[in-house]
């Protein structure tokens, strides 16, 4: 094996090994100080990848997870059957599903919603809480 081959062969293998690795970008929440309470804020790039349509994402979530208690016949103190009602209580709903100390944990008596469902609701608010 000539000198050039001895030199180039290791460089070739090293460059192949390096080119096969990549940095996985993690999306980390942004911590904000909200009057002495440190909260996590979802980065916009995460919200860009999550659906935030009221009709397609939020209303089905409300109907499935909240409507068994929060309807006109059994309001639990709040009624959420349409956009106006959900919009008016959006911050309360978000605090409750996040199990924040200042609110009652929801769904009451049930498991905390998945991070995906919570992020979907949070992103709907971040994206303007539109009636779409």
Distance CA 86, CA 62 (A): 8
Domain carrying residue 44: 31-126
Q: Which two tokens stand for residue 26?
A: 């993690």
Mean pLDDT by 10 residues, the chain (132 residues): 59 51 39 45 79 92 89 77 94 93 87 93 93 95
80 within a domain of the structure (yes/no) = yes
Q: How many residues does the chain have?
A: 132
Say what the pLDDT of residue 51 is: 78
Of 129, 43, 131, the C-alpha closest to 93 is 129
83 within a domain of the structure (yes/no) = yes
Say what the pLDDT of residue 38 is: 41
2 within a domain of the structure (yes/no) = no
Number of domains in the chain: 1
Contacts of 39 (CB under 8 A, 6+ apart): 31, 32
40 within a domain of the structure (yes/no) = yes
Q: Where do we find the tokens 């991070």?
A: 115
Say what the pLDDT of residue 27 is: 40
């Amino acid at each position: 094996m000539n000198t050039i081959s001895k030199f180039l062969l290791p460089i070739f293998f090293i460059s192949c090994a390096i080119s096969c690795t990549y940095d996985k970008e993690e999306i980390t929440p942004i911590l904000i100080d909200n009057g002495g309470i440190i909260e996590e804020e979802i980065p916009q790039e995460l919200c860009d990848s999550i659906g935030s349509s009221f009709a397609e994402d939020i209303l089905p979530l409300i109907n499935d997870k909240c409507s068994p208690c929060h309807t006109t016949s059994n309001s639990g103190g709040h009624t959420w059957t349409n956009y106006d009602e959900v919009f008016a209580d959006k911050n309360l709903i978000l605090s409750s599903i996040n199990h924040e100390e200042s609110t009652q944990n929801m769904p009451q008596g049930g498991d905390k919603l998945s991070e995906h469902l919570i992020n979907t609701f949070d992103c709907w608010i971040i994206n303007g809480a539109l009636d779409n």
